[in-house]
Amino acid sequence: MPFHICVTCGTQYADTKHPPGHCEICEEERQYVGLDGQKWTTLDELRGTHRNRFEELETGLTEFETEPKFGIGERAYLLETPAGNVLWDCIALLDDAAVRHIRECGGLSAIAISHPHYYTTMVEWSAAFGDVPVWLHEDDQQWIMRPDDRICLWSGEARPLHDGLTLIRCGGHFEGGTVLHWPAGAGGRGALLSGDVIQVTPDRRSVSFMYSYPNYIPLNAAAVRRIVAAVEPFAFDRIYGAFRHMTIAQCGMAALHRSAARYLRAISD
């Protein structure tokens, strides 16, 4: 039986003969059902209409993005380290070109995802690379629409991976909202892969924070302060956001502090 994929958010569901009656991710207040109503596809159908492009952003970091845009339109990252490669965040389309490129780079040792909007076809990606673990924060486990033994739940505020990589729970957008710290990034100055838990804005000099981006629901002051406090102990100069070109190339920590102060002023009395 097929594993149906929601066209609006890209989430893959457990195998059923017929598409699910609704998408739990899209019907929750942080997302939305498409303007044309609930629609479904499968990975095989998606492979026939879309392709993945990939581009090296710096030594050891490659972005993957689906063309034409599918689902939310986020980018995934292949992060290469001596002890094993990590796929950060996920996109729904797993195609031959992506598999081939990642295998040429040494395969994967793990997958880690920032929050449920990017879970997409995570189980398919794991299976394609030897059933590697998929690290998700336990606070978001209710949003796993395709349960699988490959999924590993972690708890607490931070989880080391290898080669200095660290998953950091920030909360905010989702209770288990996570960012990835890469100390070797940005030429050794450190980089933060933030998904949209910390959202890089189009000016690429600042970031923002929201409970729901499409429905314009802001975060409260306590949540924003918590996000900043969670990442402050980690040195980083660069922030890689969820979408193409949304990267703060330098002075990322200063941009975070400046942006948080601006945000807090904007929501104050």
Q: What is the pLDDT of residues 34-58, one digit of tens each?
A: 989 999 999 999 999 999 999 999 9
DSSP designation for 84: -
Per-residue pLDDT tens over the stretch 174-186: 999 999 999 999 9
Integer Cα distance of 217 and 258 in angstroms: 21
Q: What is the CATH number of the domain that holds 174?
A: 3.60.15.10
In whole angstroms, give the CA distance from residue 64 to residue 75. 6
Mean of per-residue pLDDT scores for the chain: 97
pLDDT recorded at residue 30: 96
What pLDDT shows up at residue 1? 75
pLDDT the model gives residue 269? 85
| 160 neighbors 166 (Cβ within 8 angstroms) | yes
**Res. 32 pLDDT band, cuts 50 70 90:** very high
| pLDDT at 195 (0 to 100) | 97
Which structural domain range is residue 233 located in? 5-267
pLDDT of residue 102: 98
Q: How far apart are CA 150 and CA 137, in angstroms?
A: 14
Residue carrying structure tokens 């336990």: 138
Split into its structural domains, the chain has a count of: 1
Residue 9 has what pLDDT?
97
Alpha-helical runs (H) found in 28-155: 43-49, 96-104, 122-128
38 touches 27 (CB < 8 A):
no
- Check residue 2 and give its pLDDT: 86
pLDDT band for position 151 (cuts 50, 70, 90) = very high
